[in-house]
Structure 1
Amino acid sequence: MITLRRSEERGHANHGWLNSYHTFSFANYYDPRHMGFGPLRVINEDRVQPGQGFGTHPHRDMEIISYVLEGALEHKDSMGTGSVIRPGDVQRMTAGTGVTHSEFNGSRSELVHFLQIWIMPEERNLRPSYEQKRFSDEDKRGKLRLIASRDGREGSVTVHQDASIYATILGTGEEVRHALSPGRSAWVHVARGEIEIDGKVLRAGDAASVTGEGEVVLKGHGDGEALLFDLS
């Protein structure tokens, strides 16, 4: 079964410096029908204005993945990590026993547009850790590129959960297929452009859950970029 979750159905909060859309319940947005999907707990689409950002704040017992679409996001944390995340970069932070971090848009003119993803880990009280890797558009064009996995295979970042995340960029007429093992489900999130699934066109911010299917088929409809989550 394939169920669509349209962009306009998401929670929304505009704080001026931050314009955020919540696929699942988050902060002041609460919908008992959308509390997550398997271990996938959060997909927030955030736009941060120039010179603004998230001040130092804590997390624990969560796998946090950042996927930047536009601009540059500056990251600092209590592990001593300082980095800049740009389009093509994938950042994974294991909060584990506890970590504090900040995220800031250092540009004076350009906003930062990124997806922040939370995945619940298999174990509590993991040792906090950080990882960042780059995946070019060519790595993703016309194919499903593994960007995060439980075992870090194919050069992906490692998440402490039985989950695999793929990224793809598809032009008109391009198609990718992903087999789902028995008992596994998928979540597809369109990051930008348009992607077709099950004969229906999904636009930026739209998503689809896939359960009880043996395969996920994505087709390019214009130029589109999407993330596919393969989940236990």
Structure 2
Amino acid sequence: MITTRTAKQCGQADYGWLQARYTFSFGHYFDPKLLGYASLRVLNQEVLAPGAAFQPRTYPKVDILNLILEGEAEYRDSEGNHVQAKAGDALLLSTQPGISYSEHNLNKDKSLTRMQLWLDACPERENPAVQKITLAEAARQLIASPDGAEQSLQLRQQVWLHHIELDKGERLDFTLHGPRAYLQSIHGQFHAVTPAEEKEALACGDGAFIRDEANLTIVADTPLRALLIDLPV
């Protein structure tokens, strides 16, 4: 089953220094039916104004994955770790209770645009505080996984996250690990098709809940950039 969640249905925020779209309940936006999906707690697309910053704050024990779409950011924590990431980078922070984290748009003239995901972390798993990879020019790239397969970022959870980049008319077939997944269009339009020929069209910024499907096909209707988050647990 495929259930679309359009960009217009998502929560919105405009604070001047920050513009955001929230897939799930976050900040001032609250929907008791949308507190996350399996271990996926947060899926935001956010634009930080030139020179803007998120001041230090603490988090629950989650893996925070930032996919930089435009601009350049710096991340710091209260333990002295710091790292910079630019457009085309995927950065993973393995947060810990009691440690605070900050984010800064390094450019004084241009906005920073990124997607941010929070994934529940297994309490017994410990990973490096910061991991970073650069996205490849590929139709499909595994960018995060439980075991760091294919040189992906290593998560503290049973989740597989794929970055998708297709030209118009191209298609990809996926075999999912379990009963749940989430699709997110970053840019472009596509169709998601199940073996039973259920078909849903997604436009730029739209997402979709995938339930009880072992296989899924993605067909690009325009040049496409998207994420597939495979969430069996």
**Residues 146-180 of structure 1, C-alpha deviation per residue, up to 9 Å, x if partnerless?**
00000001000011000010001111111011112
Closer, same or farther: CA 22–155 of 1 in aligned 2, 3 Å: same
Counterpart code for 2:75: H
**Residues 91-119 of structure 1, C-alpha deviation per residue, up to 9 Å, x if partnerless?**
11111333211111121221111011000
Instruction: Say which of 188, 192, 200 aligns to 2:187.
Output: 192
What is residue 9 of structure 1 aligned with on the other side? 9
Instruction: Say which of 156, 159, 163 aligns to 2:155.
Output: 159
Asked if the contact 2:185–2:226 (Cα under 8 Å) also holds between the matched residues in 1, the reply is: yes
* Residue correspondence of structure 1 range 117-196 to structure 2 within 5 A: 117-123=117-123, 126=126, 129-136=129-136, 138=137, 140=138, 142=139, 144-181=140-177, 183-196=178-191
Aligned counterparts of 2:125 and 2:219: Cα–Cα separation in 1: 40
Aligned counterparts of 1:218 and 1:128: Cα–Cα separation in 2: 33
Closer, same or farther: CA 62–170 of 1 in aligned 2, 3 Å: same
Counterpart code for 1:20: A
Instruction: Name the stretch that deviates more: 215-224 or 147-156.
Output: 215-224
Aligned counterparts of 2:109 and 2:72: Cα–Cα separation in 1: 11
Once the 2 structures are TM-superposed, how far is the Cα of residue 204 of structure 1 from its aligned partner? 2.1
* Residue correspondence of structure 1 range 87-106 to structure 2 within 5 A: 87-106=87-106
What is residue 230 of structure 1 aligned with on the other side? 230
> SS at 1:99's partner residue?
coil
Once the 2 structures are TM-superposed, how far is the Cα of residue 60 of structure 1 from its aligned partner? 3.2
Once the 2 structures are TM-superposed, how far is the Cα of residue 19 of structure 1 from its aligned partner? 0.2
What is residue 47 of structure 1 aligned with on the other side? 47
* Residue correspondence of structure 1 range 68-107 to structure 2 within 5 A: 68-107=68-107
Number of aligned residues: 227
Structure 2 segments unaligned to the other structure (5+ residues): 194-198
* Residue correspondence of structure 1 range 11-26 to structure 2 within 5 A: 11-26=11-26
Sequence identity (%): 30
TM-score between the two structures when normalised by the length of structure 2: 0.92
Asked if the contact 1:96–1:125 (Cα under 8 Å) also holds between the matched residues in 2, the reply is: no
Pairwise CA RMSD: 1.6
Once the 2 structures are TM-superposed, how far is the Cα of residue 128 of structure 1 from its aligned partner? 6.8
Once the 2 structures are TM-superposed, how far is the Cα of residue 192 of structure 1 from its aligned partner? 1.3
> SS at 1:201's partner residue?
strand
Once the 2 structures are TM-superposed, how far is the Cα of residue 124 of structure 1 from its aligned partner? 6.4
Asked if the contact 2:56–2:102 (Cα under 8 Å) also holds between the matched residues in 1, the reply is: yes
